Every structure is written in C-alpha cells, then in structure tokens.
Amino acid sequence: MPPALIELRRRLAEVSDLESLGQLLAWDQEVVMPPGGAEWRAQQRATVERLAHERFVDDRIGELLEAAIPESELDEDLIRVARRDFEQARRVPPELVEELAHASATGHEAWLRAREDSDFALFEPPMRRNVELRRRWIACFPEAERPYDALLDYYEPEMRTAQAEDALGRLRDGLVPLVEQAAPADDALLHGGPFPVDAQRRLIATILRQVGVQPRQWRLDDAVHPFAATVSLDDVRLTTRYAEDDLDSIFSTLHEFGHGLYEANIDRALARSPLGTGVSSAVHESQSRLWENMVGRSPGFWRWCFPHLRAAMPERFGDCTWEDVHRAVNVVRPTLVRVSADEVTYGLHVILRFELEVGLFEGGLDVADLPEAWAERTRAYLGLEVPDHAHGVLQDVHWAEGLFGYFPTYALGTIVSGQLWCRLNGDIPDLDERFAAGEFGPLADWLAEKVHRWGRRLTPTEVVERATGGPLDPGPYLDYVRAKLAGASAGLIA
Amino acid sequence: MPPALIELRRRLAEVSDLESLGQLLAWDQEVVMPPGGAEWRAQQRATVERLAHERFVDDRIGELLEAAIPESELDEDLIRVARRDFEQARRVPPELVEELAHASATGHEAWLRAREDSDFALFEPPMRRNVELRRRWIACFPEAERPYDALLDYYEPEMRTAQAEDALGRLRDGLVPLVEQAAPADDALLHGGPFPVDAQRRLIATILRQVGVQPRQWRLDDAVHPFAATVSLDDVRLTTRYAEDDLDSIFSTLHEFGHGLYEANIDRALARSPLGTGVSSAVHESQSRLWENMVGRSPGFWRWCFPHLRAAMPERFGDCTWEDVHRAVNVVRPTLVRVSADEVTYGLHVILRFELEVGLFEGGLDVADLPEAWAERTRAYLGLEVPDHAHGVLQDVHWAEGLFGYFPTYALGTIVSGQLWCRLNGDIPDLDERFAAGEFGPLADWLAEKVHRWGRRLTPTEVVERATGGPLDPGPYLDYVRAKLAGASAGLIA
C-alpha cells in the first residue's frame, strides 16, 4: 500500500478509536458509573471529544487526503467520505464549537428548571442564545442554498430542506385525516399492569435471542433513557427501561436493537474508519422503527411471541389471545407527548417540530412565539389543546441543547422504513408467516445485505434507492398505516 | 496564573484523562465487555496508550516545564514530578517501546502454552527476548549505578537495588526460621466449603459497607483476576472472585479495597495531574496488605465480622466461635504457589523472584538455569520440592510479559505495612477494640492523613519516614509475625 494511504488509514483509525471511546464513556456513565464520578467524567468526555476533533482537523490529514492514491473502490470511498467530513469539520472555528458546547450545557440546566415549573420565560434566554449561535454555525457553510440546509445536512448528508419539506408535508397531509378517522380502540390490556419487571426481563431476553442477539457481541442493560452504543462492531450495547404498568420495554428494546443491528452488520473491512458507521440519522432511524413497529406490531410477531408473554405473565394474559395483544399494541390515540406517542401519531409530533425549526431559522418565527405556534399545530395535527408548557414546547431536551436539524430525521426514517417494508414483503412474500414461526433471520439477512453492510460507502440516497428501488417517498408508509387502520375499523386487525 | 503554568496544567490534565481512560478500558474488558470485542479493544487500548505517551513526551511539555513559574508549593511539586516523569519517558525510543509491547504479547501467549504443558523449553526463547529487550531499556538510563536500579526505580522511585537487597535480605533471614518453626495448625474450617457464593456476596457487601465503601463512589464486580481500577478519584472500582470451596474472596476484596482507598483519599487538588495517584508500587502494596492481613486477620476484625459470617452461612459456622475462624485465617503453611501463599510465607515467594531477577540482570544467571535456581531457593526458603515447572518457574505471568523490577515491591510493601501497623497501634492504642466494635473509621482517617492524601507530592521515602517515623525497616513486620506465631504456638492466638 502506498505510504500516504497507510498513514491516512492509521490516522483515521485513531480518530475512529477515540469516537468509539466516546461511546464507551457515555454508556459507562449511564449504565455502570458510580454517580460520584460525574464531574470527572464530564472532563474525560470533553478531553476525548477535543482530541478526536483536533486529530481529525490536523493539517496533515488534509495533506494525506490530497496525496493518497486509491488502490480500490473501497479506498476511493474512504477518501471521498473522509474528505467530506474533513472539510465540514474544518469549517467551524474551535471557539464556536466551544461556545456551542457551553451554551448546550447551560441550556440543558435551564430547561430542567423551566420544565419542572412549566415556565417558558426561564427557557427563552438560553434558547435564544442557542438559535443565535446556530445561526453563526450556519454562516460557516455559505454554499448552503437555505440556512436550514446546513442544519439538515449535518445529520442527513445531501438532503435538502426542500426535499424534507416535500416528503414530510405529504406525510403530514396523509396522516392528519387518518388520525382524525382512527376508530376508538381499547388498549387497557397493556396498561396499568402489574407487569412484573422480572417477567419482562425474561420475555425480552427471549425476544432478543430469537431476533439474533448473541452474548458474544451484545449486552442489554437498564438505563433511564434507552439508547444503543457501539463500542466496536463486535461490542454492541443496548439499553432499555422497565415500568411495572406498561410493556413499552418490548418496543423500546426492539427499537434499540434495530439501531444496534445496523452497526453490528457493517462490513468488517470498514471498521476503524469513517466508513464504519451508519450512513445517516434517517437511515438509522428507519432500522429502529422497522423493528419496533413493522416487526414488533405485526401479526406474525405476536403469533410467535404471545405464548412467551403468557408464560411470563400468566395471571394477566392467561385468558386472552395473541389477537387481543396485537390489537392493543396497534391502537392509535393522539397524545400530547412525543415520547409516549403511538406509531402513527409519532410522525406528526416530529413534523410539528421540524416546521417550527424551519420557521425559527428561515421564516421569522421568534423564540417568544414558539408556545403559541406549538399550540396551534398541536390543535391542527392532533386535535388536542396544550394545557401547559411542560406538555408542550418544553417537553423535549433537543432545543435546550442547541440540537436543530435532527428532529426531521425521525420522520424521514419512518418514511424509509415504510419503503423498506414494502420492498421486503415483495422480496419475502411469507415474511409474516416466518415471524410467526420465530424466524427473523431472513429479515435480518435482507437488511444486512441491502442496507447494513455498506456502512457509509454509499450515500443515504443511494442506500434508499438501491434497497427500495426508488427515491424518498411517503406513499408506502401511508399505505401501510391505511391498511392497518382499515383492518382495525373493520375489526380485521387481528 | 501565569500562562505557561496554565498550559502545562491543561496538557498534563489531558494526559491524566487518557490514563484514566486506560483504566476504564481495562476494567470494562475484564468486567462487562462482550468477548467478541476483544480484538477491537486491543486496538483501542493501544491507541489510548500511544496518544497518552505522544502527548506527554511532546517537546512543548518540555518547554513549558522550563518556562512555568511555580506560584505555590503545589506547583513546585507538580513541576518536579512532571519533569521526572518527562525525562524518564523521553529516554526510551518509541521503537523500543513498541518492541517491548510486542515481545510482551508474544511472551504472554507462549507462557499460556508453556504453563499448560509445564514445558520450560516453550517459554525459554520469549523469556530470553524479554531479558534482552529489557537490557536495552536499562541502557537508556546510563546514570543508574547498577542495571537493576533502572528496573526498580521505575516502580519504586529513588529506591536503589542495594537498599532493597538489604531490607529484603533481612526480611528473608527473619522469616525462614519462623516458617520452619511454625506450629502445625488446622485450617480445615476454611477449606472445602461449600461456602455458597450468594452468601459470600452478602457478607462482603456488609464488610465493605463497614470499612467505608459508599455506592456513590465505588463499585464491586466479579473478575477472573481481582484488581482495583481508579477511573477517577470519585469512581473507584474493585473486583473480586468467589470460589465455593474457600473464603479467599474476603481477603482478596480487602486487598483491593486497600488499593482503592488509597486512590479515593487523594487530595482533590491533585486530580488530573501526575500528582494525583499513589506514590509507588510498594506504598500501594503496603495499603492493600495492611487491609488484607493486619486488619483482615486481626482478632478485632473477627470479633466484629464473625456474627455476620455465621448469619450468612449458619450450617457451616453455627457451632464455632470467632476464635476458631481467627485461628484458621492465620495458619502458616509453606506452599509452592505464590498466589495461594499465606500471609507469612508470601514474602519468601517474592524474595525468591527478586533474587533471580537480580541474578538475570547482574549476576550472570542464564535464562536456561532459572528452573534449577528456582528449585534450590524453594527448598531453602520454604522447605519444599518443586514437582514441575507449572508449580515452579512458570507459575507467574510477570516475566512472560517482560515485567522485571515489580516483584520486590510486593515484599517492600509488606515491610512498610508492618511499620505503619506498629505506628498505628501506638497512635490508636485501642485499635483492635475499635475493629471489634465495627469501627474502621479511625484507621482509615489515619491512613488518609499520613499516606493517602499526599498522592505523589512527597517521595515514597518521605511518605514512609513521615508516617512511620523512620526509614525502611523489616523489624516491625518481623515482630508482628513473631508475636502472631508465638501466640499461636502457645495457643494464645485467639
């Protein structure tokens, strides 16, 4: 291998190792760290992040990117993706990075208090500061056609605001009437409990084994806010949380499994390089939502899973059928809070936030006007009145930390999951029967081949087009929801 | 603060953070990592070690050490210790560091096979390579009066081989006749079990709570080879192991607690600097051995602990007294294997290794002659015949990994623990009564004040002299052992 390429790979591997360490530090803090270590841990994390950034934006990397002569397509992909990342990272001056980090920490603290008191006035000044700093960040990317393009591109490379507006607008226009028409339904079976936590743990261990989780490469632990961490491609750590009065742990675990499986299936040849991770936030989210919803709420899954559920909690489920549970996990009912939304209304929560973000950065929406704009859209999309800010504009941490451009990827991921699901059912016509037999391997293999193994070698658009046969399109997802709701109205949903 | 000092502190904090990360990566690998991650973890650890080294030996640190003007005694100590470390670290060329690391890994692999087959011939070539490389390492320190001085100084700053030979020779000459005269004693009470692991866990949780372990700053986990890791001064992680057929877990946990307590009590002002860790291997070992032996085998400890032991395992200990247990945990009986040696013979195992190391590097002892030299000394010091290499020269991993100069610090630590114990009993005359009442706070406070809080601000010699009132001296430890054995012979040891 030519020396420039060797050195480039070595330096990129070092940065990649530091990023993996960041994942480990975060996982450790949430899962096992004694709480007294928090103050030092913040400094350790800052050190690792700073070093990863410094080593990556080093002039030498720029020289090597110019000098390296690719010997294979893999090398070409590596140099292309690394150059893109390098140019992006060099655009933002270190002082601004530090100001953003500081404002994020301050905003987080203020948000905690503001949400507790449902007091928007406490939140407004740090939020204003976050928006102002993010405008300066946007200014580092003057080639962006629209300000929001720079925000979105950070999470969803090459996606333009106009595309997102089009796709999410069509999704919104499809969902709003569906939600309005959704039949009232009874999901009491899944609420109130008691669902003993030990029984939930056993059930989830059974589910994860069945979908392909091996202890040699995976862990599952408890965390307050579930997440997945990839410490290496052979060390993927899921977290979940249990409540005695619901069974959300099942869906939350499948969600994180979807994220983890993506990373675990990436081609080993891409490890320790910028290519060795998921390609975008939306494609990642398409994986988590596919496992959480398309799989976890399917008839086949519940035909397989129900005997295990009944065995784990015989008092509760002894007298019912898989059809009862399947019906209950598919209930649609508008709620005020995104994180407890059902599968169908979830997208509307996200679209609301996306539209307000575009308003803030492009449409003259003032921070002071956010609560009113929030209430209006909640009325229009979900048919609900916002009773207080804690159940409205203060419910999410993202804006408090200066995170803008991320929300839309949740709904874009949903759209992609619908396209993948449609194609999957074409390629594997008996998919639901396979689930009923406890066979999740064909699904996992298809995803590995079409999506996972590529890492970042393809662009997000290429991944979606190659896997689904077409461009971003909310149609298949809306069809999936329509079929489900029609079945429920007709009493057909199992 | 003057700018050079600020930058120096910042850079040293970064190196210190990377070293803490190394501790976390090692802990994680031993305790929670899915085994599939091992290959990537080796690379992550190598990256962190290389970065810590590179950032520390950077020319800029040298310039700052020259330019920084101390404003306090603390600054002076910081600059002195950092300069010592810097000069040492710059002496060894990176190529040699890499060769040593590679030979260490190769040696470890060869040792595993050699020990399994008890075949010294498999071990001889990598051992010879380790010795040869270590001679080149020694040559990087030409100012050392004797070759072994360079090895010893790495673990025990400012200790000379001649001092160690003197102290350990006196310890050996004192111990050999004591071991020969040790009364035959019965410790069947502690062997064979069954000692249910769950009961041991509960007992050890009780003990750790009583000696001062708080969940806010500590963890205890299982590991194959127990160790203590300091992820930060407020995040100290102990590990232990349990066997159904003995109660070694108690002593192993107290040993690691001794190491952990040292680090946990270091002055917070020294954190994230080269001052913020234990001062030397011997002083560290004095802490672990003090808790393991002086405390863990004392009458007072067992007067307090016995009711908890009996409550945890009533079938086994229902019919006996605290005196029975105390007698059994103090039995002296020569054995072939260091890690299962009793408190008294342990020192002789270590002295044997120290003498052979000095022979290898200074006395013309050839690697091929190690087995014979080992057998001779085992006969002379312990009165035992070595039946095979696995129970002889191949029992420890240290030499396989090229670790020379570390063994003597185990016995030097024992000597220091004897001196500290003597002084402690002078300063707190009712120490044993306090233990009997479950009061370990006075002991912990004394150690924190006299030893722990200083970190590396004092030299090891200063720590020992200030805390014990005199220089390194095996006399107090021998007196402690003599009193214990005399009590046992006279039936007086409780």
- At A383-435, the pLDDT tens digits run 999 999 999 999 999 999 999 999 999 999 999 999 999 999 999 999 999 99
Residue A490 is predicted with a pLDDT of: 61
Asked if B193 and B245 count as a contact pair (C-beta separation under 8 A), the reply is yes
The secondary element (H helix, E strand) that includes residue A249 is: helix A248-264
- Active centre residues of B (catalytic): 256
In degrees and rounded to multiples of 5, residue A219 shows phi and psi of -130, 155
Mean pLDDT, residues A41-58? 94
The whole-angstrom separation of Cα A428 and Cα A446 is 9
pLDDT-derived band at B80 (thresholds 50, 70, 90) equals very high
CA A43 to chain centre: 27
Measured CA to CA, the distance from residue B89 to residue B108 in angstroms comes to 24
Pairing of strands A235-240, A228-232: antiparallel
| Nearest partner of A21 among B212, B29, B103, judged by Cα | B29
Return the bridge partners of A246, or none: A191
Nearest Cα residue to B230 out of B216, B218, B212: B218
Of B18, B34, B43, the CB nearest to A215: B34
Task: Determine the Cα–Cα distance for residues B204 and B233; give it in Å rounded to an integer.
Answer: 22
Q: What's the pLDDT band for B492 if we cut at 50, 70, 90?
A: low
Residue A11 tokens read as: 């330096």
In sequence order, what are the residues at sequence separation of 6 or more whose Cβ sits closer than 8 angstroms to the Cβ of residue A102?
A: none
CA nearest to B312, candidates B196, B221, B404: B196
Compute how many other C-beta atoms are within 10 angstroms of the C-beta atom of residue B205: 13
Question: Cα–chain-centroid distance for residue A457?
Answer: 20
The model's pLDDT over A150-200, given as tens digits with 9 standing for 90+, comes to 999 999 999 999 999 999 999 999 999 999 888 777 788 998 889 999 999
Distance CA B275, CA B279 (A): 8
Q: How far is A184 from chain B (nearest CA, A)?
A: 45
Query: CB–CB of B464/B283 below 8 Å?
Result: yes
Instruction: Report pLDDT digits (tens) over B128-141.
Output: 999 999 999 999 99
Distance from CA of B30 to the nearest CA of A (A): 14
Go through chain B and tell me how many residues it has: 494
Q: Look at residue B489 in the predicted model and tell me its pLDDT.
A: 63
Q: What is the mean pLDDT of residues A471-488?
A: 93
The tally of CA atoms less than 13 A away on the side-chain side of residue A112 is 5
Give the minimum alpha-carbon distance from A104 to chain B in angstroms, rounded to a whole number: 22
Of A13, A48, A216, the CB nearest to B34: A216
Span B8-34, average pLDDT: 97
ipTM of the complex: 0.93
| Ramachandran region, residue B92 (left: φ > 0; alpha: ψ -120 to 50; beta: rest) | beta
CA distance readout (Å), B103 to A11, A19, B8, B399: 24, 29, 34, 11
Of B36, B44, B233, the CB nearest to A216: B36
DSSP 3-state percent helix, strand, coil across chain B (nearest 5): 70, 5, 25
User: Following DSSP, what letter does each residue of A19-47 receive, concatenated?
Assistant: HHHHHHHHHHHHHT--GGGHHHHHHHHHH
| Interface residue of B40, B51, B60, B233 to substitute, partner A, most A CBs within 10 Å | B40
Does A494 score more than 80 pLDDT? Answer: no
Interface contact B231-A33, CB threshold 8 A: yes
Give the separation between CA B209 and CA B206, rounded to whole angstroms.
Answer: 5
Residues of B in contact with A236 (CB under 8 A): 34
Distance CA B356, CA B373 (A): 7
Cβ–Cβ below 8 Å for B44 and A216? no
Question: What are the pLDDT digits (tens) for B97-119?
Answer: 889 988 998 999 999 999 999 99
Contacts of A21 in chain B (CB under 8 A): 21, 25, 44, 48
- Chain A hits for B41, Cβ within 8 Å: 232, 235
Record: contact B32-A215, CB cut-off 8 A: no
Token pair in block for residue A215: 């202890």
* Pick from B44, B218, B272: CB nearest A17: B44
Record: contact A14-B47, CB cut-off 8 A: yes
Contact B14 A272 (CB under 8 A): no
pLDDT at residue B490, rounded to an integer: 61
User: In this complex, do B235 and A272 lie within 8 Å of one another by their Cβ atoms?
Assistant: no
Residue B494's H or E segment, with its range, is: none
- How far is Cα A319 from Cα A315, in angstroms, rounded to an integer? 8
- Nearest Cα to Cα of residue A37 among B26, B261, B217: B217
SS3 string, B87-110, reads HHHHHCCHHHHHHHHHHHHHHHHH
Interface probe, candidates A11, A31, A39, A234, chain B, greatest B C-beta count within 10 A: A234
Residue A378: its H or E element:
helix A370-382
| Strands B228-232, B218-222: pairing kind | unpaired
Whether A34 sits inside 8 A of B235 (CB atoms) is yes
Helix (H) or strand (E) holding B232: strand B228-232
Contact between B144 and B150 under an 8 Å Cβ cutoff? The reply is yes
Of the pLDDT bands very low, low, confident and very high (cuts 50, 70, 90), residue A454 is very high
pLDDT, averaged across chain B: 95
pLDDT at A489: 64
**Cα A26 to Cα A46: distance, rounded to the nearest angstrom:** 11
Report residue A400 as tokens: 């408090």
pLDDT digits (tens, 9 = 90+) for B353-403: 999 999 999 999 999 999 999 999 999 999 999 999 999 999 999 999 999
CA distance A485 to A289: 18
Nearest to A151 by CA among A128, A131, A167, A171: A131
Alpha-carbon span A100 to A137, nearest angstrom? 9
- Looking at CA atoms only, how far is residue B9 from chain A in angstroms? 13
pLDDT of residue B373: 98
- Give yes or no for residue B301 having a pLDDT over 50: yes
> In chain B, whose CA is at the least distance from the CA of A235?
B37
Question: Which residues in chain A are contacts of B54 at CB distance < 8 A?
Answer: none
Q: What is the dihedral of CA A12, A15, A16, A19, to 10 degrees?
A: -160
CB-CB under 8 Å, A234 with B39: yes
Q: What distance in Å separates the CA atoms of residue A192 and residue A194, rounded to the nearest whole number? A: 6
Q: What is the tens place of the pLDDT at every residue in A262-281?
A: 999 999 999 999 999 999 99
Q: What is the 3-state secondary structure (H, E, C) of A291-316?
A: HHHHHCCCHHHHHHHHHHHHHHCHHH
A40:B20 CB<8 A: yes
d(CA B445, CA A264): 49
B chain contacts of residue A18, beta-carbon cutoff 8 Å: 47, 51
Q: Give per-residue pLDDT as tens, B199-217.
A: 999 999 999 999 999 999 9
Chain A environment of B239 (Cβ under 8 Å):
none
Token duo for residue B66: 């020259």
Q: Angle at Cα A420 formed by Cα A417 and Cα A423, nearest 5°? A: 150
In the sheet that holds A228-232, the strands lie side by side as A218-222, A235-240, A228-232
Q: At what angle do helices B343-362 and B161-181 cross, to 10 degrees?
A: 140
